[in-house]
Amino acid sequence: RELRTQYEALAARNLQAAEDWYRARCARLHERAARSQEAVRASRREAGECRRQLQARLVEMESLRGAHQSLERQLQELEERHNAEAAGLQDTIGQLEDDLRNTKNEMARHLREYQDLLNVKMALDIEIAAYRKLLEGEETLFNLGSVGLPSLNSLPSPTYSFQPRSFSSST
């Protein structure tokens, strides 16, 4: 009996210890499972937030890609317009340079004509001066000659008329 009682007491203690160990182990496992479930929920929330951010970034990236393509097209159009304007300005510059060259040539021609006319005028001025000297010399001779010849005084004084020669320009 005593032995039985001891075995029963020992069995009861072992049973109690096993139950306590089982309950403690279950409590730890339930606690770990609760923490794991909370971690899983947090991970799912985080994954959902990451998916939303990813979607937002993808939409933003597509929007930026469209804006980039639009800006590239505008840049291309601006470059083409700029090149066309530059070509037009180059044509205008070429025309202006041609006009300037033609104007310079025309001015040079006018300057040569003016120089030729100036040379003709100077030649005529020299010729006129020579005729004046001749006329003055003849008047002096007439005046001297009329002192010695009284009969010549009755003649009217001579008049001279100048008839210019025509010069043709070589231009």
Please spell the DSSP secondary structure of 33-55, one letter per residue.
HHHHHHHHHHHHHHHHHHHHHHH
pLDDT band at 144 (very low <50, low <70, confident <90, very high): confident
pLDDT digits (tens, 9 = 90+) for 46-88: 999 999 999 999 999 999 999 999 999 999 999 999 999 999 9
Instruction: Give the pLDDT of residue 171.
Output: 39
Output 56 or 138, whichever has higher pLDDT: 56
User: If you write DSSP's letter for every residue of 90-129 in order, what string do you get?
Assistant: HHHHHHHHHHHHHHHHHHHHHHHHHHHHHHHHHHHHHHHH
Write the single-letter amino acid at 123: A
Burial 104-139 (b: 16+ CB within 10 A, else e): eeeeeeeeeeeeeeeeeeeeeeeeeeeeeeeeeeee
CA distance 101 to 17: 119
Mean pLDDT (the chain, rounded): 86
For residue 109, what pLDDT band results from cuts at 50, 70 and 90?
A: very high
State residue 154's pLDDT score: 47
**What is residue 146's predicted lDDT score, i.e. its pLDDT?**
63
Q: What confidence score (pLDDT) does residue 44 get? A: 93
Q: Which of 44-48, 103-107, 114-118, 160-164 has the lowest mean pLDDT?
A: 160-164
5-24: average pLDDT: 91
Largest pairwise CA distance in the chain:
211
Q: How confident is residue 131, by pLDDT bands cut at 50, 70 and 90?
A: very high
Most confident of 32-41, 116-125, 158-167: 116-125
| 17 three-state secondary structure | helix
Q: What is the reported pLDDT for 147?
A: 54
